[in-house]
C-alpha cells in the first residue's frame, strides 16, 4: 500500500492506494473507500471509480512536476500528487493542518542533477523550483515543500543520485 498527498482546488487530501487485482485498486481518501478499475492506460488513462453509492468514469493525464490533469464525470481539475512515507519525499501541501512537512528534499527516483536553481541562504516560498532531476530522459522539477531559507545543498550539477538521496534542506 502507498500513501499520497493530493492537492486539489486549494484543499489537501491524504489517500492510500492498495492494488487488489491486475488493474483494480482500493483507494481510501480521507476515510472514504473507492474501488478504481483501469479501463485504459495511455497518455490519457480512463478509470471506472465506484463508491458505495455511486459509479463514475474518471480520466487522468500525468504532467511534469507531480501534476495530474483529472476529469471526473467530464469536469476538469488539476491536482498535485506526491508520495508520502518510506521512500517518499517532502512535498508542497498547504492546508494539511497540524502535520509538519519536512524541509528535506530527497530524490524521488535515481537520476542526474541537470540544474540547481537556488543558492544556500536564499529565501524560498512554498512551491519554488529548487532543482531539475533527469530520470529516464524526463526532466523532473523538484519544488520547495515549505517556505523558508535554503539551509544546505547536498548535490552539484551533473551529479548522479540514488533514490532517497538527500538533495537540499529548506528550513
CATH of the domain at 140: 2.40.50.100
Task: Give the end of a domain, one of 20, 48, 83.
Answer: 83
| pLDDT at site 73 | 66
Q: How many domains does the chain have?
A: 2
Average pLDDT, the chain: 79
Closest by CA to 78, choosing from 60, 58, 92, is 60
Asked if residue 106 belongs to a domain, the reply is: yes
Same domain, 61 and 111: no
Asked if residue 93 belongs to a domain, the reply is: no
Asked if residue 92 belongs to a domain, the reply is: no
Same domain, 6 and 62: yes
User: E strands of 85-155, at which residues?
Assistant: 104-106, 111-116, 123-124, 129-135, 138-143, 148-153
pLDDT above 90 for 157: yes
CATH of the domain at 59: 3.30.700.30
Domain of 117, in residue numbers:
101-170
Same domain, 70 and 23: yes
Over residues 87-128, the pLDDT tens digits come to 333 333 333 333 334 578 888 889 999 999 999 999 988 778
pLDDT above 70 for 144: yes
C-beta separation of 59 from 47 below 8 A = yes
C-beta separation of 82 from 88 below 8 A = yes
Q: Give this prediction's pTM.
A: 0.46
Q: Exposed, middle or buried by CB within 10 Å (0-12, 13-18, 19+), for 15?
A: middle
Residue 42 or 147, more confident: 147
Asked if residue 18 belongs to a domain, the reply is: yes
Same domain, 46 and 119: no
Asked if residue 52 belongs to a domain, the reply is: yes
pLDDT above 50 for 151: yes
Which alpha helices (DSSP H) does 16-113 contain, by range? none
Which range has the worst mean pLDDT, 38-42, 80-84, 102-106? 80-84
Amino acid at each position: 500500500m502507498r500513501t499520497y498527498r493530493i492537492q486539489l482546488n486549494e484543499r489537501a487530501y491524504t489517500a492510500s492506494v492498495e492494488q487488489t487485482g491486475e488493474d483494480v485498486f482500493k483507494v481510501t481518501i480521507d476515510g472514504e473507500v473507492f474501488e478504481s478499475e483501469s479501463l485504459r492506460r495511455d497518455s490519457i488513462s480512463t478509470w471506472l471509480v465506484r463508491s458505495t453509492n455511486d459509479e463514475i468514469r474518471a480520466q487522468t493525464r500525468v504532467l511534469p512536476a507531480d501534476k495530474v490533469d483529472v476529469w471526473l464525470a467530464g469536469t476538469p481539475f488539476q491536482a498535485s500528487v506526491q508520495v508520502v512515507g518510506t521512500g517518499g519525499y517532502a512535498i508542497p501541501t498547504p492546508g494539511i493542518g497540524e502535520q509538519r512537512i519536512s524541509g528535506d528534499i530527497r530524490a524521488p527516483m535515481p537520476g542526474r542533477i541537470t540544474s540547481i536553481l537556488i543558492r544556500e541562504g536564499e529565501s524560498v516560498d512554498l512551491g519554488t523550483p529548487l532543482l531539475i532531476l533527469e530520470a529516464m530522459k524526463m526532466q523532473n522539477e523538484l519544488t520547495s515543500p515549505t517556505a523558508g531559507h535554503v539551509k544546505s545543498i547536498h548535490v552539484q550539477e551533473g551529479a548522479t543520485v540514488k533514490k532517497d538521496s538527500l538533495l537540499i534542506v529548506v528550513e
